[in-house]
Structure 1
Amino acid sequence: MKFIAILPQPTEPGHKIQISGRISNNAEEFSINFANETNDHPQSIAYHFKWDVAKKMLIEDYKEDNEWKKRNATAFDIFDGRFKNKAINDSISNRFIDNNTIVDTTDTFPHSYSLLGLEFALEFAFQDDGIYVYMVCEDARNYVTHFQPEIDIQFIESVQVWGDVEKITQLSFSYN
């Protein structure tokens, strides 16, 4: 595990958690888990968000009694467009058309591009009908996915980051 934060209060609809960080050089994957425990190896995870960089996939799941239950994989080839490389950044910025839509273009990035300094900023918004995930850019939020947890979100006790993350640069909680 790279990072763990214990939530200061139970999660409820209307709450938001934002997390930002930097991915390691040549990252293959990383995950953000909303665990129902505060230990290093939780047996219960209400929401597992994993970005498989190498396979360009977003994987979502949850865990009960130490068993993964409902794996869902979706093609996902870009993150939030805040690359250190200006040429790549300019290309990605053309993909966003409004705050909720990512345009699918035929331009793709070769898997060989360097991930040095790739930063991410995600917002997890907890609502009655599930968890909404957004990429946070300087002037917008872009919808990524919606996950309906099988485990009540008020039982989430910690946020855990695993995998190829160099460091977490920000974590913030927004409560109503």
Structure 2
Amino acid sequence: MSTTKFIAILPQPTQSGDKIQIRGQISNNAKEFSINFANEVNEDPQSIAYHFKWDIANEMLIEDYMEDNEWINSKETPFDAFDGRFKNEAINNSISNRFIDNNTIVDTTDTFSHSYSLLGQEFALEFAFLDDGIYVYLAREDGRNLITHFQPVSDFQLIESVQVWGDVEKITLLSFSYK
């Protein structure tokens, strides 16, 4: 289990239409980090509604959830952290041209045209909660790119905290946008 770097208690239960944005600085020798939406507040939760792990070293995105201290339904997707795009074209074609705006999924061509290194840099992720799941975006000043969509098994209204684990130096921003 990774060491907890940051825990924030959600000010109210998460509902459809809510968004949480988190920015932080990745360590210079980062191998991985994760953002976890836990159904508990403690540092070693037994229940996590959504585990978003970025395995930088292996260019892999890992998603799953935890019940009774057991990871369930791990899904690994090849992901190039350096340009914010899926390597798997089938997945890329199905989701890269969609984003959420006022609870609606619409077509867009908003993707990043340039590469950048995450190591030692700041990351910005947005988690948008909708009826059909959690949409995750890589956010930049010049736009945002849909990374993934995850359908949690447990009701995301049960989420009590957002936690950051792994190779992150510091969190620079955490914002909640409630419907």
TM-score range, shorter chain: 0.7 to 0.9
Determine whether 1:11 maps to 2:14. Answer: yes
How many Å apart are 1:75 and its aligned residue?
0.6
1:140 to 138, 143, 151: 143
How far does the alpha carbon of each residue in 1:103-160 deviate from its partner, in whole angstroms, 9 at most, with x for none?
8x9xx99xxx882x22100000000000000011103111000000001000000000
Aligned sequence identity (%): 70
Provide the rounded CA distance (Å) in 1 between the counterparts of 2:12 and 2:36: 17
CA distance in 2, matches of 1:15, 1:2: 24
Whether the 8 Å contact between 1:80 and 1:137 is mirrored in structure 2 is no
When residues 114 and 69 of structure 1 are mapped into structure 2, their CA distance, relative to the original with a 3 A threshold, is: closer
Instruction: Quote the residue 2:169 is aligned against.
Output: 166
CA drift at 1:80: 6.2
Size of the alignment, in residue pairs? 154
Matched, 1:37 2:40: yes
Q: Which residue of the partner structure matches residue 54 of structure 1?
A: 57
Q: Specify the SS of the correspondent of 1:2.
A: strand
Q: Which runs of 5+ in 1 are unaligned?
A: 82-95
TM-score, normalising length: structure 2: 0.80
Q: Cα deviations across residues 16-54 of structure 1 (Å, max 9, x unaligned)?
A: 000000000110000000000000100000000000010
- Say yes or no: does 1:98 pair with 2:119: no
Change (3 A) 1:114 1:12: closer
2:25 partner SS = strand
Q: Structure 2 CA distance, aligned partners of 1:141 and 1:173? A: 17
2:153 to 143, 150, 153: 150
SS at match of 2:157: helix
Given the two structures, how large is their TM-score scaled by the length of structure 1? 0.81
Distance 1:114 1:98, change over 3 A: closer
- Hey, what's the Cα distance between the residues in 2 that align with 1:33 and 1:168? 14
- Stretches (4+) displaced over 3 A: none
Question: SS state of the match for residue 73, structure 2?
Answer: coil
Computed over aligned residues only, the root mean square deviation of the Cα atoms, in angstroms, reads 2.3
Segments of 5+ residues of structure 2 without an aligned counterpart are 85-96, 98-107
Q: Is the 8 A contact 1:79 1:120 kept in 2?
A: no
Which residue of structure 2 aligns with residue 69 of structure 1?
Answer: 72
Distance 1:164 1:137, change over 3 A: same
The structure with the largest strand share of the pair is 2
